């Protein structure tokens, strides 16, 4: 069972939560998948989402690629949630550490997912720690980018229907790093 570790509520009423658990167990409008550009969901978070969501997610992903071509960092794809509790899976392509310009690419994947969520008129979205697993992006650096992008989104789109952004972290090390960074970044945002 997923467990809430921290919640931040902003003056606008928007909420940022950090949970520990399995993103495929989230009862939320959309979850974000840490995908590759061709939406082949073989391993990592993508593999678990595809396994738990059933074959429909891969079938819809293949159809997306056929219709639109490879997914870019700044323009995520989406499918239904298949057998998952969510309505949508947003497939965001994060950078592989060492390929160059990783910070910008991760920021684009996060902001692109939030904007797509707004376009889909969802009220809640859950992210994994994109690119910090097999793609090797340093966790603390990624956490800073996540929180900066979420705060920027809430600031730039105060009328968005998206009221809840949740980060769902699978392991205790990632949770610890993201909590530490969140406390610093959110505190600076509120006092700055």
In the chain, the percentage of residues whose pLDDT exceeds 90 is 83
43-57: pLDDT as tens digits? 888 899 999 999 999
Domain range 3-191, CATH architecture: 3-Layer(aba) Sandwich (3.40)
5-62: pLDDT as tens digits? 999 998 889 999 999 999 999 999 999 999 999 999 988 888 999 999 999 999 999 9
Residues ≥6 apart with Cβ < 8 Å to 77: 35, 39, 61, 64, 68, 71, 90, 91
| 87 and 122 Cβ atoms separated by less than 8 Å | yes
- Antiparallel, parallel or unpaired: β 164-169 and 30-35: unpaired
| 146 and 167 Cβ atoms separated by less than 8 Å | yes
Tell me the whole-structure pTM to 2 decimals.
0.95
Helix/strand/coil for 170: coil
pLDDT at residue 32 in the model:
98
Structure tokens at 143: 């956490």
Domain locations in the chain as residue ranges: 3-191
How many whole angstroms separate alpha carbon 89 and alpha carbon 81? 5
Beta strands of the chain (E only): which ranges?
3-9, 15-20, 30-35, 77-80, 88-93, 124-127, 164-169
| 67 and 10 Cβ atoms separated by less than 8 Å | no
Mean pLDDT for all residues in the chain: 94
Taking the alpha carbons of 155, 118, 22, 171 in that order, is the dihedral positive or negative? negative
How many whole angstroms separate alpha carbon 74 and alpha carbon 46? 18
How many whole angstroms separate alpha carbon 151 and alpha carbon 57? 30
């Amino acid at each position: 069972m997923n467990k809430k570790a921290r919640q931040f509520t902003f003056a606008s009423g928007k909420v940022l939560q950090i949970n520990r658990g399995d993103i495929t167990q989230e009862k939320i409008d959309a979850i974000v998948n840490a995908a590759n550009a061709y939406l082949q969901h073989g391993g990592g978070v993508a593999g678990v989402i595809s396994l738990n969501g059933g074959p429909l997610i891969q079938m819809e992903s293949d159809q997306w690629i056929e219709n639109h071509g490879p997914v870019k960092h700044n323009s995520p794809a989406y499918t239904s949630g298949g057998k998952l509790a969510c309505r949508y899976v947003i497939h965001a392509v994060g950078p592989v550490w060492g390929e160059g310009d990783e910070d910008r690419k991760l920021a684009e994947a996060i902001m692109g997912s939030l904007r797509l969520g707004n376009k889909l008129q969802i009220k809640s979205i859950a992210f994994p720690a994109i690119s910090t697993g097999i793609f090797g992006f340093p966790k603390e650096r990624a956490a800073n980018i996540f929180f900066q992008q979420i705060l920027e989104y809430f600031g730039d789109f105060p009328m968005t229907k998206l009221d809840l952004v949740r980060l769902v972290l699978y392991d205790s090390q990632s949770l610890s790093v993201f909590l530490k960074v969140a406390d610093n970044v959110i505190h600076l945002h509120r006092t700055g």
